[in-house]
Structure 1
Amino acid sequence: MPLFQWTQVLLLCALCLVIGYVAASSRARWRRNLKPPEQQPAGRLFPRSHETPATRVLEEQFHAGKLGFDESLELADTYRRQGDIQGAIDIHQSLYGRPGLHWRNMQRAQFELARDFFQAGILGRAEDLLRSLVAQNGEQTEEAVRLLLKIYQQEQDWEEAVELFESHRSLAQGDLRWEHVHMLCEQAETMLLRQPDRARVMARQALQVLEDSQRPVLLLMRLAMQQQRWREFNRLVQSYLTQPESRIDLFRPIARNAVLQYPEQQRTLLNTLQKYNHQPEVRLLQGELLFESGLSDQGIQLVESVPLNEDTLAWRLDHLAHCSGDEDLKRLSEELKASFAQQNRYQCSHCGFESAAHYWHCPQCERWETLQPMRYQKSGKLLI
């Protein structure tokens, strides 16, 4: 290599060394100027907050062993209400490890500690404590199962949730039956495409747990349509429509998919609906399906036989707009639909949560099967 090229290489190496030294010196000065972070005591997960003189005195009494068990729980609850999750963890963890504590009180402390970890989002530690409580089968078992179900729900671990119910069938006989049904259905939903036969078993099992739950029947309809088991599909439709509280708004997308995807089944489904079209909402659905099938004249006759209201008016305008091609009618139809959009929303009957989409599980109050169309709650009649 020529001499001048060696010179260039050496100069480049020297320049890199200088740049590296300057950068390292600057970083060292920057680190020296940083204030050291406030150190937390060993084992502390969260910074202490909202500490007051009163709670400080009570905590000193607690650590001195002068505070009773119930008073200690009250102190931890005070920390929890103030948002001081670390304070609650400290109290409950100390109680849980206290020697000579009665087993009932130890289980209470264990459950409260699990609640703290759950609230803090440390789900793994909460799950370990709760599973231990469930295995002990003590007085906190039902509460532990409920909290475990919330954890599995957040993690969408439906298989673990179902196994929990299977191993504690006595708990599933009370008001936890709704949770059991929907956990089975959630697990079945994950198997619809890959394992439809197993999904059918799960849905039937859910129906056995709670016969008046509508979700398993709707799930079985989807499975029957997916596998083109039309005799079973029509039997399920008839069974569903005979239920006094059948939700036509939830059945409607299944019926529309059946008509649009499998035209050869249109007549059978329409004949089935004909048996139940004394119900206004079924008649409207039948009219809509007739319109989708190209039998618009028969569809409009059915809708006109239903008393005039916002649903039938919107449907008629939409029908006229498509038939006549009138742009003014189309615009009026869209404006009318927009004005009714608020009433087409869903609302939780327990906490008032509103949503444009339907959820089986309320995201706010975490209750199952409480979202209903807002106009159903106002009028007492459910129209599609």
Structure 2
Amino acid sequence: MAFDLRWLLLIIPAAFALGWLASRLDLRQAKRDPRDAPQSYFKGLNLLLNEQHDKAIDAFIEAVQHDPDTAELHFALGNLFRRRGETERAVRVHEHLLARGDLPAAERARAQHALAQDFFKAGLFDRAEAAYRALAGTAYALESELALLSLYERSRDWARAAEVAASLETRGAGSFATRRAQYLCELALAAKSSGNAEQAHALLNQATDLAPGHARARVLAGQWALQAGDAPAAMAAFEALLVANPQAFNLVAQDYAQAAEAAGRQDDAIAALQARYAQEPALALLLAWNRLQPEHAAERLSAHLQRVPSLNAARQLLALQGEPVAPGVMKAIDVAAKPLLRHRCAACGFEAAHYFWQCPGCLSWDSFPPRPVEEL
């Protein structure tokens, strides 16, 4: 059957007419949208620009009631308040969103997550914990567990932190073995302070099994054995540390020398210190060596200065030689050398006179190199 070309005379004008009608409808919709926007929306913007935040929030809440699509504006406003430290206002915004019955599940989870962040920022850890736990099974579950881990660390709830870290490992979020070993060490310290030495040592053994290359459990085991007068056990712990984590051995070089003296194993300790010093010429190793073998200590310090220029090594050499110096010179050297003995966090730059396993500044774990600032 042949196509009747006369139909084109009807189809083409009809297509043009429909296209023109559609464009007119779009223009009318574009013109109508601004007029249909609730007045409270513009009122809220005006109040926000005039720094009247309380009234602006009320206005935006009214705007959301008229138009649920403005939920995105509430999220932006709540995040702005949180960044500015106005957590009470942020909580009001996100609690209002959660109170809405018509909020989609994805947006409800987003509001719950934002509310948990508000509580965390405000330091309301109990409410933050409940808010984060309410996100189980949502798209924010992994982020929530990471936040809970940080929360438990800040509140020093090491048992729960260990549970969350183990859960994160199970979920495939990475390896938390070193962090979990740190938590076990913290629990061991608490057990020892409460008089439960057996549990404390058991926790240290768990930490060593969990993270064999981690230093802290071996350091504590050796130091506790030394304090208890068990020099052979202390030497065994320190020598195991030397094998598992040679860099961290600098932290206990003097303790190792003391244990060797008590155990009558000076020659073995000197050999171990010599071998380690040949690999890494750290002053802590040399001073421990000199303690066990005072003969030719000055020559070794002088050779160290030639190899690794160090103000602290020079101070040790001057004190050892006992040569007369001008009044005040040794005091000036002591003052100048003292800051160089500090330890510095590699994550945030926080400096401290003592070594920390967790930085007091940024709360990072194992971020302090086991050598003082001068030797970095």
Q: How does 1:1-384 map to 2 (within 5 A)?
A: 51=53, 57-133=59-135, 136-171=136-171, 174=174, 176-193=176-193, 194-228=195-229, 230-242=231-243, 246-252=247-253, 254-255=255-256, 258=259, 262=262, 264=264, 266=266, 268-281=268-281, 284-289=283-288, 291-292=290-291, 295-308=293-306, 309-310=309-310, 311-321=312-322, 326=324, 328=325, 331-372=328-369
**Deviation digits for residues 33-85 of structure 1, max 9, x if unmatched?**
xxxxxxxxxxxxxxxx8618866653432344534443322121012123221
Bigger Rg, structure 1 or 2: 2
**Deviation digits for residues 280-325 of structure 1, max 9, x if unmatched?**
535x4454235545x532433433442432243222112123xx6x
Taking only the aligned residue pairs, the percentage that are identical comes to 22
Measured at CA, do residues 201 and 143 of structure 1 come closer, stay the same or move farther in structure 2, by a change above 3 Å?
farther
**Deviation digits for residues 111-160 of structure 1, max 9, x if unmatched?**
22122112112222112222333xx3433222222222233223222122
What is the TM-score when the length of structure 2 is the normalising length?
A: 0.71
Q: Letter of the 1:212 partner, please give it.
A: G
Displacement, 1:257?
A: 5.4
Contact 1:344 1:375 in 2 (8 A): yes
**Deviation digits for residues 192-230 of structure 1, max 9, x if unmatched?**
352333223323333344443322332232244345555
Cα distance in 1 between the residues matched to 2:372 and 2:232 = 34
Contact 1:200 1:223 in 2 (8 A): no
Query: By percentage of residues, which structure has more helix?
Result: 2
SS at match of 1:213: coil
Cα distance in 1 between the residues matched to 2:231 and 2:126 = 45
Cα distance in 2 between the residues matched to 1:254 and 1:129 = 47
Measured at CA, do residues 84 and 161 of structure 1 come closer, stay the same or move farther in structure 2, by a change above 3 Å?
same
Q: Letter of the 2:334 partner, please give it.
A: K
Contact 1:347 1:373 in 2 (8 A): no
Alignment gaps of 5+ in structure 2: 1-50
What is the TM-score when the length of structure 1 is the normalising length?
A: 0.70
Alignment gaps of 5+ in structure 1: 1-48
**Deviation digits for residues 177-202 of structure 1, max 9, x if unmatched?**
44323222221222235233322332
Contact 1:346 1:374 in 2 (8 A): yes
C-alpha RMSD over aligned residues: 3.4
Q: Letter of the 1:289 partner, please give it.
A: A
Measured at CA, do residues 343 and 374 of structure 1 come closer, stay the same or move farther in structure 2, by a change above 3 Å?
farther
